[in-house]
Structure 1
């Protein structure tokens, strides 16, 4: 697909057709960013995110440029000490959206990029700044955009609440995060990745509360969705290890069996 797409963009000279080819290239590299990240190739994820940005810029497509900034921002969030650079990319993407006419796509992409900023603040333990940005900016954009999947960002009210859950769990406010998480129906989300993240955050919240049966139930559901992703996710394996270390006799067989399936024991 990459070879065919690159050959098409090089071989197309008519302006409308070339622009469409470049849009397709931007979309392809955007999808590849997610695939490479899930495959554990963060180096390739960064490479294809940059190619998506280049194709979107050559196509002069403002929405796809914003999507490319969103993808690149998430790549940087996966890098050690990449949060500051991710904020810069997100702010630049939001500023570029001023060129786009008002639309649901513009609103959704603005909100998605604001969530990159929220995630970066969360990673840097700037809990209050992240909460303030959610309250003053993101919730309003989510309500305006509604549930959707513009440029595969899954931005909307439900996804925004999942970011709040992640924030509160990381801030050590597991009880507050669980209250918010219990109001989210992740079955409506068109992203298996976001469903995975939700279940993981719920499991971590219950671990913080030492409500181990509930944590184990969410981890087992996590395994059902994607055992392969679970094995590669350090937060998931850490949660399993915590449960195994303090498992009571009634819950130990299930915890041990899960740890064995994941290769932790």
Structure 2
């Protein structure tokens, strides 16, 4: 079901959900899906192509399949299970399920020709390009094909290639973990981060292990397990801080240490600890100053600019909108990825919303949407601020804000 049929189903889901008095969050909970998935179904960008999912959707809405979709097949005409093209990360979730290369344990040869090591390097870089662009649908398709391939390759490749393949495998799972976290799918993010950690250790790459812990800490934060997130970050900082005192400490290691301090700053901010937040931001600033440039070691984008972006974000978390806007005026994020630029503008919008600046907040959101539409349409913080702005401006909601709410499938 594609095109107009997908859009028609989305509109029907929205109508039935509202008639049932359910929010998108209610429907997501009933479906054991993410709110972003419901949003994409209602916008007509997420196909619902399996009858089993259509039936579950109908059950959650307390209607029959035929009420939901008039052209639906009868219940006994079950469609085959399998991965279908998706506009979010559902295909990648399926690819993570079960053992990644079970046939290799039974000494089954790969069913398809293996990419070369050079191909895997290129494909891993492409995965992170999609991640930094917040192109989650394309990333899902990319990794759903690539992960099983590299899992088989690492078990059949010559011994001399295996360490680098493990390192690339860690990099791919880190991309998956980062994307699942941003799409509010923390359970899948944790699984991906754990696999990245295992692959990094097999590669004999301690810094890749730390990078995997960085992704795991973010997954724990999305699950609201702040104690576990803090433990993951602090365990890395405790080992790395003494090493950072040496003048010869590599910049890659400093970047990871700085990134972990930013994780701890966010945790402190979410717990309302101003002193702890500012202490960690100051530590990250000092490390960034020592590096003297924006870098992207282990795809953390750590550097002076990202530190100030986090200073804005943590100020918003603490309710210090004035400080957030003052810092934001000094930030030029144009050298960073679309995801980082978009997230910065989202936090600027949140700060303006805290001050009831509807026009300024809407302008920041629209600029953010232009950079990374999937992030703005699906990120829980973006959806919250859009709802807040609509409520603040009622009954005269600006047309630009109304259009943004409609594109995000927000009632």
TM-score (norm 1): 0.91
1:94 aligns with 2:241: no
Counterpart residue number, 1:75 = 219
**2:103 counterpart residue number:** none
Stretch of structure 1 that moved more, 243-252 or 204-213: 243-252
Q: In the alignment, is residue 107 of structure 1 matched against residue 250 of structure 2? A: no
Q: Is contact 1:247-1:255 (8 Å) kept? A: no
How far off is 1:61 after superposition? 0.7
Partner of 1:11: 156
The answer on 1:117 being equivalent to 2:264 is yes
Question: Which of 224, 242, 246 is matched with 2:388 structurally?
Answer: 242
How far apart in 1 are the matches of 2:340 and 2:274?
Answer: 21
Q: Is contact 1:127-1:171 (8 Å) kept?
A: yes
CA distance in 2, matches of 1:187, 1:252: 28
More divergent stretch after superposition (163-172 vs 34-43): 34-43
| Counterpart-to-counterpart distance in 2, 1:167 and 1:131 | 9
Structure 1 gap segments, 5+ residues each: none
Report the secondary structure of 1:154's partner residue: coil
Q: Does 1:133 align with 2:133?
A: no
What is the rounded CA distance, in whole Å, between the counterparts of 2:404 and 2:236 in structure 1?
A: 42
The aligned runs of 1:18-97 (5 Å cut-off) are 18-80=162-224, 82-97=225-240
SS at match of 1:263: coil
Compared CA separation, residues 174 and 39, structure 1 to 2 (3 A) = closer
Higher helix share: 1
Distance 1:139 1:48, change over 3 A: same
Alpha carbons 1:111, 1:138 under 8 Å: kept: yes
**What does residue 212 of structure 1 align with?**
358
Aligned to 1:255: 401
Distance 2:358 2:328 in 1: 17
Q: What corresponds to 1:202 in structure 2?
A: 348
**CA apart distance, 1:40:** 4.2
Paired with 2:387 and 2:183, the residues of 1 have a C-alpha distance of: 23
**How many Å separate the matches in 2 of 1:179 and 1:255?**
24
Larger radius of gyration: 2
Deviation at 1:77, TM superposition (A): 1.0
Deviation readout 1:223-245 (Å, 9 max, x if unpaired): 22233322322322222222222
Secondary structure of 2:194's counterpart equals helix
Moved more, 101-110 or 148-157: 101-110
User: RCO greater where, 1 or 2, for CA within 8 Å and sep 6 or more?
Assistant: 2
Of residues 52-61 and 235-244 in structure 1, the stretch that sits farther from structure 2 once superposed is 235-244
Contact residue 22 and residue 59 of structure 1 kept, 8 A:
yes
Residues 1:37 and 1:248: Cα distance change in structure 2 (over 3 Å): closer
Aligned partners of 1:25, 1:89: CA distance in 2, in Å? Answer: 21
Distance across 1 between alignment mates of 2:265 and 2:189:
21
Distance 1:22 1:58 in 2: 6
The number of equivalent residue pairs is 261
Match of 1:174 among 297, 321, 326: 321
- CA distance in 2: counterparts of 1:38 and 1:179, whole angstroms: 26
Change in Cα spacing, 1:123 to 1:89, as seen in structure 2 (3 Å) is: same
RMSD across aligned positions (CA)? 2.0
Unmatched runs of 5 consecutive residues or more in structure 2: 1-145
Secondary structure of 2:410's counterpart equals coil
Contact 1:213–1:251 (Cα < 8 Å) also in 2: no
2:365 matched to 1:222?
no
2:372 alignment partner, SS class: helix
- Give the TM-score, by structure 2 length: 0.60
Deviation at 1:250, TM superposition (A): 7.7
Matched ranges for 1:154-193 at <5 A = 154-189=301-336, 191-193=337-339
